[in-house]
Structure 1
Amino acid sequence: MVADRSPLDVAAAGQGEAPTAAETTMTGGVTGPRAPGRRMIGVAVPIPDPYGSFLQARRASFGDPLAHAIPTHITLLPPTEVDETALDAIQEHLVRIARTERPFTIRLRGSGTFRPVSPVVFVALAEGIGGCERVQEKVLSGPLARSLPFPYHPHVTIAHHLPDDVMDRAFKELAGYSADFQVWGFSLYEHGMDGVWRRQSDFVFGDGVLPAPGR
């Protein structure tokens, strides 16, 4: 994505099936009314600890109000409002995808930004982009087929819509960041009416089983 946000990072901006130009990441904070029987979901690769908790703490240190509402992640499906009757079919769809995939390595290296097009600073992927792209294309098919406003660009948001001097500081302070980990699968998240994204199910590459969140 040339001007991306993290899909959990977008729900704070608004709800709906069609994303705006900013809706390419999961965002927290949407607490407005939702039609009965409708749910807001997202799919993402969770960043494992200690990296995930460290980056979430850094995001909070920059004063980002969404830091504690959004688990650290790489988006596969941006916030998408669905009918709750479709959830079983969506789960089956995600299980089928997981069974076709195998673990791959992600290497996080340094910082990047989508400014001035979109007010986002992120940690960049030096390896694992192809794996994320492949899985993302499969996720956005079948019951989750949708179009995106920008080309897909996997990343980890660390600052969003903050004053320019704070965004500059985030960019500089994470410029030397690095982390390597194996991607074991991906997770389904749901956006609560309190504005918090919560992990609901995990989908493990190779077998597609759904262990308890936190695997």
Structure 2
Amino acid sequence: MVADTASPAAGTRTIGVAVPIPEPYGGWLQRTREALGDPLARAIPTHVTLLPPTDVPAGDLGCVEDHLRSVAAGQRGFRIRLRGTGTFRPVSPVVFVALADGAGGCERLQAAVMSGPLARALTFPYHPHVTIAHHLPDEVMDRAVKELADFRAEFEVRRFALYEHGADGVWRPRRDFVLGAGGGR
């Protein structure tokens, strides 16, 4: 999730929804992103985006949470296997860790999240991934591709999270939603 540089209008909140990458992988990838010099490394927890940054009226957050609770209740957990790297260059200056398994589960979850009150058009087709470098010089992006080419991780997705973009530019989890449980915590 990378927020636009424009600040949201008064009375709105910028939110995103994502599958957090669990430890030890999430922290390791975040430290790697930081070591590459990505200034967003500390501001964005390691994740797979389900809903990109979206401005919503502050008064609608309860409705959004109700929607996400309903989505979570109707979804089952699934396994993600991360393997190797990919890039969206030259279309978008992003290097990512690729999903070898679990893309279908992310696609189903993303479609459900982006329905109802969160329905919106996307700039690019949905492609689940874990960003590790964004808007960095080409030589750094090339280094990221090479250094993480052998990266491997596997984990069960049992929840997703609603994040809110703070005035300080940091994305923070607001609430977790447990898959199949019918509630958030």
* Pairwise TM-score range, normalised by the shorter structure: over 0.9
Partner of 1:62: 36
Aligned-residue offset at 1:185: 1.4
- The corresponding residue for 1:188 is 162
Structure 1 match to 2:58: 84
TM-aligned CA deviation for residue 89 of structure 1? 0.7
Deviation at 1:35, TM superposition (A): 2.3
SS of 1:148's equivalent? coil
**Partner of residue 137 from structure 1, selected from 111, 135, 155:** 111
Distance 1:195 1:90 in 2: 21
The one-letter code matched in structure 2 to 1:56 is Q
- Partners of 2:117 and 2:77 in 1: how far apart? 24
Tell me, in whole angstroms, the C-alpha distance in 2 between the residues paired with 1:36 and 1:53. 33
Q: Secondary structure at the match of 1:180?
A: strand
The 1-side partners of 2:38 and 2:183 are apart by: 34
Q: 1:117, 1:35 → 2: CA distance?
A: 29
Find the counterpart in structure 2 of residue 167 from structure 1: 141
Name the counterpart of 1:37: 11
Give the equivalent residue in structure 2 for 1:49.
23
Q: Does 1:115 align with 2:106?
A: no
TM-score by length of 1: 0.84
Q: RMSD of the TM alignment (CA)?
A: 0.9
Distance 1:14 1:128 in 2: 31
Distance 2:141 2:49 in 1: 21
Q: What is residue 29 of structure 1 aligned with on the other side?
A: none
Shift of the alpha carbon at 1:209?
1.9
Partner Cα distance (1:91, 1:56) in 2: 27
Deviation track 1:42-61 (CA, whole Å, cap 9, x = no partner) reads 00000000000000000000
1:148 maps onto 2:139 in alignment: no
One-letter amino acid matched to 1:186: F
Partner of 2:179: 205
- Tell me the secondary structure at the aligned position of residue 122 of structure 2: coil
The structure whose residues are more often strand, as a share, is 2
TM-score by length of 2: 0.98
Describe the superposition over 1:143-178 as per-residue Cα deviations: whole angstroms up to 9, x where unpaired.
001000211000000000101110000000000000
Which structure 1 segments of 5+ residues have no match? 1-7, 16-31
Per-residue CA deviation, residues 64-98 of structure 1 (Å, 9 max, x unaligned), is 00000000000000000000111111000000010
Q: Deviations over 1:22-51 (max 9, x none)?
A: xxxxxxxxxx4x322110000000000000
Amino acid of the structure 2 residue aligned with 1:46: P
How far the C-alpha of 1:207 sits from its partner, in A, is: 1.0
SS of residue matched to 2:184? coil
Q: Identity of aligned pairs, percent?
A: 64
In the alignment, structure 2 segments of 5+ residues that lack a partner are none
